[in-house]
Amino acid sequence: MRLSEFKRAVSDEFGSREGAALTKFLVLSELGDLTSEAALEAGVPAREVWIALCRANQVPEQRWYAVGLKPPPIA
């Protein structure tokens, strides 16, 4: 997932205003108590940040891969 895809997914799922607030202020324990923005700046892959954000906000798993993105192949 590219950063632009992450930003689009956040906006699509949460709305632009709420999504911006969540990425800036919501601390994600799954990512070592970093916000989404801090995790991305620290080099955490965007897909990992996206999934952690989804889990923290109880987004149903079927929407974790966001609009227009293909789910990863099944192993």
Supply the range of the domain harboring residue 29: 3-59
Counting the structural domains of the chain, the total is 1
Token pair recorded at residue 39 = 């995790």
Residue where the block lists tokens 């940040």: 49
* Prediction pTM value: 0.83
In a domain, 49, yes or no: yes
In a domain, 74, yes or no: no
Please tell me the distance from the alpha carbon of residue 55 to that of residue 7, in angstroms, as a whole number.
17
In a domain, 75, yes or no: no
DSSP 4-58: HHHHHHHHHHH-HHHHHHHHHH-EEGGGTSEEHHHHHHTT--HHHHHHHHHHHTT
In a domain, 71, yes or no: no
In a domain, 43, yes or no: yes
In a domain, 27, yes or no: yes
In a domain, 68, yes or no: no
Q: For residue 19, which phi and psi values (nearest 5 degrees)? A: -60, -40
Output the tens digit of pLDDT for each of the chain's 75 residues: 899 999 999 999 999 999 999 999 999 999 999 999 999 999 999 999 999 999 999 999 888 876 555 656 666
